[in-house]
Structure 1
Amino acid sequence: MKIDAPLNVANALEAGPLARDLEARGFDGAYTFDGRTDPFLPLAFAAEHTQRMELITAIAVAFARNPMVVAQLGNDLQTLSKGRFILGLGSQIKVHIEKRFSMPWSAPAARMREFVLALRAIWEGWQKGTPLNFRGEFYTHTLMPPLLAPPPNPYGPPRVFLAGVGPAMTEVAGEVADGYLVHPFHSAAYLEQLALPALDRGLAKRGSKREDMEISCQILVGAGRNSAELEQARDAMRAQVAFYASTPAYLPVLESVDRAGLHGELNALSKQGRWAEMATRIDDELLDAVAIIGTPEEAAQAIVSRYRGTMDRISPTGYIADPTLAAEVVSALGRAMNTSKETA
């Protein structure tokens, strides 16, 4: 399994030195996400300061943009990184698309499928110099004057990864994407019973198998060196899990662990702003089903045990108190993976 790290910066100028440090520490990839800052700009600085590490948007909100804009950004970052860029896309949820981004929302799975197909049509036109003629239900791209068309990218188009939680979006990922991004809020049962079967159905539509695509999984990890730090990590993770569990889009995860009834209670508390109270509703059984908490060695062993053989790349995320502790987790993870290879 490859190990990726978050590239969290408040200022894009900080992304270059941080990415260089992550590469020196042996990470296989670094990812940004659509949050307080744009996910694309920091990767331009990261590309300039690295040579080997893959650079990923995990995720950029597709429906906040349009295929032509994303195609240009992806093409530029693929050039800057010399072929190391991975375009990770996600749909976000209706309220954000309509009220935060002021963009249309409808049929998200079908729209995402068409979004990716439009991207590929645009890139193909640039690579081959053929006329652009994409006509879909949601997107239409039929104008590309030669003066505005980029030259063929020497590294080819970037790979496209799609995030999905529900079965419809996950199936789309299998059908049209090069990789699948697993949301950090998940359980082993959810992966086995819902996500991976949906992915396989999508892959079957195009005559492919699971080994033909890369599966990337963010993992909720809380780490500590002693009982006090571990309890602090558990408290922080309860709050994060409660936030996810209050969101309707993530109900399938709760259903996978027979906790669907918890969603309504948490959703109601969130609307009342009772965030601290929400965390108290997350008991140890639920927490351990969707997160991994322990010392660096314990967390590493649990990650390898739970994800080895199903995930191609992983990224510990969640609550790790300081950079030194995060480095210990990653070092322990490397040792655990090496041990598992030797005993396989």
Structure 2
Amino acid sequence: MLVDAGGYANTVTEAANSAQEAERSGYDAYWVPETQLDPFIALAIGSERTSKIELGTAIAVAFARSPMTVALQANDLQLASAGRFALGLGSQIKPHITKRFSMPWSQPAARMREYVLAVRAIWHSWRTGDKLDFRGDFYTHTLMTPFFNPGPNEYGEPPIYLAGVGTRMTEVAGEVADGFLCHGFTTERYLREVTLPALERGRAKVGKTMAGFQISGPSFVATGNTDEEIASATAMIKNQLGFYGSTPAYRPVLDLHGWGEVGDELHNLTKRGEWAQIGGLIDDEMLRTFAVVGSPDEVVTELTRRYGDVATRIAVPNGHLAHTSDGQPLLAALRG
């Protein structure tokens, strides 16, 4: 299992520095989410400061951008990183797309399927010189003159990962993507009972199996070398779980575990602007269902038990700071 790093940063410089640190620490990849910064810019800087580690967006908000824009940004980063880039895309939720980005929203799973196919059609045109002629229900790309054509990428096309929670989006990932980014708000049970079957259905639609398909497993981890470090990580994760649990789009995960009413309470708190209260609704049972909590030795054992036969990679924030009882770095212990 590959062990990746990633996390929230306040600036592109901070994210690029973290990518450099992750490479020095021995991680396999560094993923940048789109929150308070543009992940493409952060990784462009990061690519100049690293030489071996994979670099990916986890995620870039697809519907905030045109497929042509993303195709070009991904192509540039694949060149800048000498073939180390992975394009991770997600849909975000309707309020953010329509109210924050002022972009259209409709049929997100169908739109995402078409989006990825459009990006691949653009790359195909650049690679082969064939006429660009993509016509869909949501996106149409029929013009590519030589002046705007960067030509074939010497490192090939980057892999595309999709993120999702609902079954429709997950099926789309299996159908058109090279890998799947499990949302942090995913439990082992949800992954096995809902996510995996949906991915398999998507692969079957195009006559493929799960062989070679990448799955980045859920990775809420609260660990450290002291009780204080574990407690600090636990409090942070409870707040994150409260935030995600308040989102109606992620309600199916709570429903599977019989916690739908907690989702309603969390949603009501956020509607009233009581953000500081949401972590308090996450009890220890919910915490330990969504997250792996404990000493580094316990984390290695539990992550391997939960996801070792399912995930091909997993992200462990700051895992290099924790060591198992025999002095082995956490990320090395996870690799086995």
For the superposition of Structure 1 and Structure 2, which TM-score range results when normalised by the shorter chain?
Answer: over 0.9
Give 1:70 deviation, angstroms: 0.3
Aligned to 2:186: 186
Give 1:7 deviation, angstroms: 5.9
Greater CA deviation, 62-71 or 287-296? 287-296
Equivalent residues in 2 for 1:229-240, closer than 5 Å: 229-240=229-240
Q: CA RMSD in A?
A: 1.8
In 2: Cα distance, 1:324 partner to 1:259 partner: 30
Give 1:229 deviation, angstroms: 3.8
Q: 1:197 to 1:49 in 2, by over 3 A?
A: same
Structure 2 unpaired stretches of 5+? none
Aligned to 2:125: 125
Question: Conserved in 1, the CA contact under 8 Å of 2:224 and 2:322?
Answer: no
Equivalent residues in 2 for 1:5-20, closer than 5 Å: 5-6=5-6, 8-20=8-20
SS at match of 2:55: strand
Aligned to 1:154: 154
Aligned to 1:257: 257
Cα deviation digits, residues 146-192 of structure 1 (max 9, x gap): 11111211111111100010000000000000111100111111001
Equivalent residues in 2 for 1:1-344, closer than 5 Å: 1-6=1-6, 8-317=8-317, 326-328=321-323, 331-338=329-336
Question: Conserved in 1, the CA contact under 8 Å of 2:20 and 2:49?
Answer: yes
SS at match of 2:31: strand
Q: 1:282 to 1:10 in 2, by over 3 A?
A: closer
Letter in 1 for 2:106: S
Letter in 2 for 1:287: L
Question: Conserved in 1, the CA contact under 8 Å of 2:186 and 2:290?
Answer: yes
Give 1:224 deviation, angstroms: 3.5
Q: Percent identity?
A: 48
Give 1:64 deviation, angstroms: 0.3
Letter in 1 for 2:72: Q
Give 1:228 deviation, angstroms: 4.1
Q: 1:183 to 1:280 in 2, by over 3 A?
A: same
Q: 1:84 to 1:224 in 2, by over 3 A?
A: closer
Q: 1:197 to 1:31 in 2, by over 3 A?
A: same
Give 1:14 deviation, angstroms: 4.4
Question: Conserved in 2, the CA contact under 8 Å of 1:63 and 1:91?
Answer: yes
In 2: Cα distance, 1:227 partner to 1:159 partner: 39
Moved over 4 A (4+): 14-17
Question: Conserved in 1, the CA contact under 8 Å of 2:319 and 2:330?
Answer: no
In 1: Cα distance, 2:17 partner to 2:231 partner: 33
In 2: Cα distance, 1:19 partner to 1:263 partner: 34
Question: Conserved in 1, the CA contact under 8 Å of 2:225 and 2:322?
Answer: no
Question: Conserved in 1, the CA contact under 8 Å of 2:59 and 2:90?
Answer: yes
Cα deviation digits, residues 19-53 of structure 1 (max 9, x gap): 23321211100011111000101111221222221
Normalised TM-score (structure 1): 0.92
SS at match of 2:219: strand
Q: 1:27 to 1:231 in 2, by over 3 A?
A: closer
SS at match of 1:157: coil
Structure 1 unpaired stretches of 5+? 318-322, 339-344
Give 1:9 deviation, angstroms: 4.1
